[in-house]
Amino acid sequence: MGLGHHIKGRLLLGMAMCVACTALLLAQNKQSTTEQKAEPPAAKSNQKNPNPPGSVTSHGPIDILSDTGGVDVHPYLNRALSLLKESWYERIPETASYKRGKVTIKFHILKDGQITDVLYVDRTGDPHLDLPAYLGVTGSNPLPSLPSDFGCKFLALQIRFYYNPEVDPSEHGSGSLIPCVTTRINSVQSVAIAVSPSSAEVVTGAKQQFAAVVTGDPRFEVKWIVSGSGCSGFTCGSVSPQGLYSAPSIIPNPPRVMVTVTLASDPTDTATATVTVVRPTNP
């Protein structure tokens, strides 16, 4: 369930502040351009103005990691950022409303807008923060096609998602650009699945939320099952299609239960979390 608008306004402060920084940067660039016009005219050139050579540039919370071949992609990134934020907003759970953290996702956009090679760069370790950011990217697939004059095969980006930042989270990219790739490329990538957390103690009758983390498949579907050597059926508990495990009222013998998630497109690709069912502590 998504947050209400009043909670989202607080939760997404980091993204808003990054966009504000971008507006300031654009205003400064405009002023610089005006000042340059007052100088003696330079020799005319038919070449486009590329991004600063060899260095990563930032567009708000988005870092441009690859050479753009001289094409100004900032207008395109305005559209892409709006779609990425909307996809992220839809997936933020209420449990994240008072948590803090930064998640950074790296990915490629092909010329037709397809998103590939989605990877975590930074994560919090909390699936309620990490997974919505990851799915915010994969759930935006496909984005609009890259500009028609964009000559590279892909645009490499990374985006930073902030939850309840204490200070202005504006950052600037650093490092070397990926060269502009103009030859044919293949977007085949491996698919992997994991479950978070990988283990938990759950009191009888209580619940525990698990999350599936899938890389390499932007439209993944998963199935959840519960099993155990000392139980069967509901005596092991149950798990919802969203990964919410409900412990049984009686502790199995042995008390360990397996919560397994399976990739629907490949039943052999699974991940398992171990649950230990325990008695409630006496007050």
The verdict on 257 and 136 lying in the same domain is no
CATH of the domain at 253: 2.60.40.10
Tell me the CA distances in angstroms from 14 to 8, 81, 104, 160, one per residue in order. Answer: 11, 14, 13, 9
Encode pLDDT of 7-45 as tens digits.
444 444 344 333 333 333 333 343 433 333 333 343 333
Q: Per the domain annotation, does 85 fall within a domain?
A: yes
The verdict on 146 and 215 lying in the same domain is no
Q: Per the domain annotation, does 59 fall within a domain?
A: yes
The verdict on 138 and 221 lying in the same domain is no
Q: Per the domain annotation, does 182 fall within a domain?
A: no
**Nearest to 90, CA basis, from 138, 123, 126, 122:** 138
The verdict on 17 and 56 lying in the same domain is yes
pLDDT at 48: 42
The whole-model pTM stands at 0.52
Percent of residues, the chain, with pLDDT higher than 90: 41
Tokens of 45: 């050139």
Q: Is it the case that residue 51 has pLDDT exceeding 50?
A: no
pLDDT at 22: 34
Q: Pick the more confident residue, 49 or 71.
A: 71
The verdict on 10 and 127 lying in the same domain is yes
Q: Which of 119, 143, 163 is the last residue of a domain?
A: 163
Number of domains making up the chain = 2
The verdict on 13 and 97 lying in the same domain is yes
Give the Cβ contact number of residue 35 at 10 Å: 9
The pairing of strands 192-196 and 211-215 is: antiparallel
The verdict on 83 and 217 lying in the same domain is no
Q: Is it the case that residue 46 has pLDDT exceeding 80?
A: no
Helix (H, G, I), strand (E, B) or coil at 161: strand
Q: Per the domain annotation, does 21 fall within a domain?
A: yes
The verdict on 96 and 155 lying in the same domain is yes
> What's the mean pLDDT when you consider all of the chain?
77
Q: Per the domain annotation, does 172 fall within a domain?
A: no
The verdict on 155 and 201 lying in the same domain is no
The verdict on 119 and 20 lying in the same domain is yes
Q: Which of 163, 184, 207 is the last residue of a domain?
A: 163
The verdict on 145 and 229 lying in the same domain is no
Q: Per the domain annotation, does 183 fall within a domain?
A: no
Query: Which residue carries 């070449």 as its tokens?
Result: 47
| CB contact set of 196 (below 8 Å; sequence gap of 6+) | 127, 130, 131, 210, 211, 213, 273
The verdict on 12 and 132 lying in the same domain is yes
The pairing of strands 154-163 and 211-215 is: unpaired
Residue 165 main-chain phi, psi, to 5 deg: -70, 145
229: left (phi over 0), alpha (psi -120 to 50) or beta: alpha
Q: Per the domain annotation, does 105 fall within a domain?
A: yes
The boundaries of the domain holding residue 76 are 5-29+50-163
Tokens of 202: 């759950």
CATH of the domain at 138: 3.30.1150
